[in-house]
Amino acid sequence: MKYTITRALAEFKTLKNRYQKEVGSSMLIGVKVGKKMRAPHSSYQPEAFSTQATKQYQSITDLYKRILEIKTKIDQSNFVTKVTIAGKEYTVLEALEMKNVGLELKKDRLSELKRQMMKARTTYDDALDENKRRIEKMVSEQTAAGSKDAELEKKAVDSIEAIYKVDFVDPIELQKKIDELEEDITSFENEVNYALSESNSTTYIEVEG
């Protein structure tokens, strides 16, 4: 029997729920005294109880096999079926792992990159302010009160920058990495559900009737 992945997933969920209910409500062993069953199975004759228990366990076993068959066929399909999301090709399995695990890891990384960038910018601005105070102090020590000497100010700036020049040490171009991560996350989130839904509705697996 051919199923789309969408239908197979629905069948898998239905059968799994049914399996759990049947296991939970099963009556597979009882006690008899003489020819009568003891509670909670006293409404059964021993032979009828045995027949019922055997049928129940067989039903549970059959459900279990079918659940595993469907899940295995879905997984096998997901391993080879390709989807394109935000211009990148994934197997369905890769896309699912990206959705369920990869996005969270990327978001954690993005948060940390942003934190470090903000901290570096604060440190950078503080260092610039320190240099400004150094320059002001140097100029004030070498000029008379109330006077202003442009040449002296330039020399002070050059002197301070020669020793205390402020710059980022940014070997991986951190802001560029932040922008790329944000774009990757947004694009993937916008397209993944549609791409998977479309694939699941057009991809078929063969399941024993």
Asked if the model's pLDDT at residue 21 lies above 80, the reply is: yes
Q: Who's near 91: CB < 8 A, 6+ residues apart?
A: 78, 79, 80, 81, 82, 83
pLDDT at 61: 98
Asked if the model's pLDDT at residue 144 lies above 70, the reply is: no
φ and ψ at residue 171, rounded to 5 degrees: -65, -25
Count CA within 13 A, CB hemisphere, residue 122.
Answer: 6
Q: Who's near 183: CB < 8 A, 6+ residues apart?
A: none
pLDDT at 150: 80
Closest residue by Cα to residue 83 from 5, 183, 173, 163:
5
Report the alpha-carbon distance of residue 52 to residue 57 in Å, rounded.
9
**Residue in the block written with tokens 């990206």:** 98
Asked if the model's pLDDT at residue 93 lies above 70, the reply is: yes
Residue 10 has which token pair?
Answer: 């629905």
Residue-wise pLDDT tens digits, 162-189:
999 999 999 999 999 999 999 999 999 9
pLDDT at 57: 98
Averaged confidence pLDDT in the chain: 95
Closest residue by Cα to residue 152 from 165, 140, 139, 163:
139
pLDDT at 146: 56
The percent of residues above 90 in pLDDT, for the chain, comes to: 89
3: which strand partners? Answer: 205
pLDDT at 147: 63
φ and ψ at residue 98, rounded to 5 degrees: -65, -45
85: which strand partners? Answer: 88
> What band does 145 get if pLDDT is binned at 50, 70 and 90?
low
Asked if the model's pLDDT at residue 149 lies above 80, the reply is: no
**Residue in the block written with tokens 């076993």:** 61
Report the alpha-carbon distance of residue 24 to residue 26 in Å, rounded.
6
193, burial (CB in 10 Å: exposed 0-12, middle 13-18, buried 19+): exposed
> What band does 20 get if pLDDT is binned at 50, 70 and 90?
very high
Residue 45 has which token pair?
Answer: 């004759």
Report the alpha-carbon distance of residue 182 to residue 198 in Å, rounded.
25
85, burial (CB in 10 Å: exposed 0-12, middle 13-18, buried 19+): buried
pLDDT at 101: 97
- DSSP notation for 41-77: STTS-HHHHHHHHHHHHHHHHHHHHHHHHHHHHHHHH
